[in-house]
A and B are shown apart, each in its own frame.
Chain A
């Protein structure tokens, strides 16, 4: 069971945003989508979710189903999308907000089966005690849990999370990521998460894909892929890498750090995470 994207091109009007991206995600795998603002992460995710449509290229699931040819409703039964938390003007109660995830499955009146999925998703996200509260009363972290519960109620095989942690404080970021990884494993979905924090990506994802200017420029386990070179190329930032509890960690540097703290750029590299000579020279200069 593989989500396979080949030579995907997506654009708004004349502007191409995704320019021939190819990647695949296995079932039970959580893949981090990394890249600077405007690199095409969000557009790629929205295209898989059927929110945008592609100019060319293919998106297939399970080695055969062409996701771009499915009806909106059928696609929604396979792919679920978790947006950044959004402000709400009117409060549904939480149970009804999660029920929105069943929209592709029922007409006007939810069936018992729909409610069963809602209850299960709420329990899964630790929301069962809050069911009757209005979504407008929730904290950011709880709100994000409601959005993930909604996606789970959709009973998807592919789960897409578009920067779900951006608006959260560190505690809820951590919770959300743990939940995302948990769900990927236990519900056995193919999951893609767009994320800005490289350290969190290294900590929680199985694999990372770097997008730059709409093209995949690196793809692999964080420890294999992260390098000062790549990160400089993608974000324009000088970094050092370290390993903490078995996870690669990224530490941005600035000229000022060096002069003030008396650090020099010849800080020992860790294991295979080697900074190239040219960059060392640049920092020293």
Chain B
């Protein structure tokens, strides 16, 4: 502490060269490698499946679509259709959905300053499940034409839930604990409502509801990929722009963040709305995929640190990787059957997570 007394400090120090660690080389490298890994996993994921496509087939399909040519022989045409209409949307939905849930998880954990928080803490998942269940009851248990009604049912109740949580908690200045408690209350409420439906439902309706809650990318469609992509394309730059405000809220606390010039309530409201939208839209398309939104941010934090400037992007990468790999594994283990990605991601992710928790010094405390 002697240096505290002896060092004279010019009140406006001259700029000097930054030490190497301030260039965030590790973080940037991790993000670059992560993106490469996602692309590699995606290409592998497209090939996996019952009709045994090769990498050449995949690339040929891309080329055909780019140039607008249609293959003449039936076999290639079928292959192209399988890749373009089934594999590609499925893999892309896994990537975008994983990224969206991971980003939402990162935002919720940071904003509520709580490592146990997931995208579902505010009760979005039970609300979506209730919406989907209602749609199944009303429009019948068969998929196909009912799929869009499931999406809409889940979306309506997700947004209703989010609006309720935010308006109830804003009477208490959106304090973290209030938000979490209101979320818990609404989770219980929607859980009970869904249980009511299940209790009185026919067997096939019950089965359809349960299947929805497992969460999978089996019913992926291009419009879903497009919607999620656009959503992320708008949300990500905004969140990145807010990264230093997020850092202040997450690491300094509300009062200090305000004293650092951050409009805490505004930022929290906007960012939670974004995180909730990402979550709601994703699970409306996929059903409830657990684990990734809770754990991807932690895995990312262990690798690139807690600074949101890099954490958000890297979380998204980890989330995307986790889901795209889990989906591939889910299609491999019981071919030609498919285990839903929502089940596999916990099976694959939990051991990785445990390994990181126990081996890293930078503990999650």
Contact = CB atoms under 8 A, between A and B. Distances in A.
B263 interface: yes
Contacts of B18: 112, 115
A155 interface: yes
Nearest to B258: A51
B261 A73 contact: yes
Interface residues of B, number: 52
B306 A92 contact: yes
Given A83-B253, A90-B301, A107 B11 contact: no
B241 interface: yes
Given A49-B259, A95-B21, A103-B244, 19 more contacts: A72-B261, A80-B259, A88-B251, A97-B251, A108-B241, A112-B15, A115-B15, A115-B22, A119-B13, A123-B9, A124-B7, A126-B3, A131-B21, A135-B251, A136-B363, A155-B12, A178-B4, A187-B9, A187-B11
B74 interface: no
B114 interface: yes
A103 B4 contact: no
Contacts of B9: 120, 123-124, 186-187
B4 A175 contact: yes
A46 interface: yes
17 contacts: A51-B259, A72-B258, A72-B262, A76-B259, A90-B251, A90-B364, A91-B362, A96-B307, A101-B260, A103-B244, A103-B245, A103-B260, A116-B14, A124-B7, A124-B9, A125-B4, A187-B11
B5 A178 contact: yes
Contacts of A89: 113-115, 365
Interface of B: 1, 3-5, 7-18, 21-22, 109-110, 113-115, 240-241, 243-245, 247-248, 250-253, 255-263, 301, 305-307, 309, 362-365
Contacts of A188: 11
A179 B14 CA distance: 23
A178 B243 CA distance: 34
A154 B4 contact: no
Query: Which residue of A73, A89, A188 has the most chain B CB atoms within 10 A of its CB atom?
Result: A89
Given A46-B255, A106-B244, A76 B15 contact: no
A90 B7 contact: no
Interface in A56-108: 71-77, 79-81, 83, 86, 88-93, 95-97, 100-101, 103-104, 106-108
Contacts of A73: 261
A108 B261 contact: no
Query: Which residue of B11, B240, B243 has the most chain A CB atoms within 10 A of its CB atom?
Result: B11
Contacts of A119: 13, 16
Nearest to B3: A126
Contacts of A134: 362
Contacts of B243: 108
B305 A132 contact: no
A100 B252 contact: yes
Contacts of B16: 112, 116, 119
A55 B250 CA distance: 29
Contacts, number: 137
A113 interface: yes
A207 interface: no
Contacts of B7: 123-124
Contacts of A49: 255, 258-259
A192 B1 CA distance: 23
B306 A91 contact: yes
Interface in A113-160: 113, 115-117, 119-120, 123-126, 131-132, 134-136, 150, 154-155
Given A178-B5, A182-B5, A81 B244 contact: no
A91 B114 CA distance: 12
Contacts of B114: 89
A50 B92 CA distance: 46
A103 B248 contact: yes
A103 B261 contact: yes
Contact of B258 (A50, A86, A92, A112): A50
A86 B245 contact: no
B255 A117 contact: no
A107 B260 CA distance: 13
A32 to B, nearest CB: 20
A123 B2 CA distance: 11
B236 to A, nearest CB: 12
Contacts of B363: 136
Nearest to B250: A90
B4 A126 contact: yes
Contacts of A76: 259-261
B195 to A, nearest CB: 33
A90 B15 contact: no
A93 B260 contact: no
A146 to B, nearest CB: 11
Query: Which residue of A90, A109, A132, A178 has the most chain B CB atoms within 10 A of its CB atom?
Result: A90
B248 A100 contact: yes
Nearest to B309: A108
A111 to B, nearest CB: 8
B241 A107 contact: yes
A138 to B, nearest CB: 12
A186 B8 contact: yes
A103 B247 contact: yes
A79 B259 contact: yes
Query: Which residue of B1, B11, B256, B262 has the most chain A CB atoms within 10 A of its CB atom?
Result: B256
Top 4 A-B residue pairs of the complex, sorted by shortest distance between their CB atoms: A76-B261, A104-B261, A81-B259, A73-B261
Nearest to B257: A103
Contacts of B260: 76, 100-101, 103-104, 154
Contacts of A104: 260-261
B91 to A, nearest CB: 31
Given A107-B241, A124-B4, A72 B263 contact: yes
Given A97-B251, A126-B4, A120 B259 contact: no
Given A100-B247, A113-B15, A123 B3 contact: yes
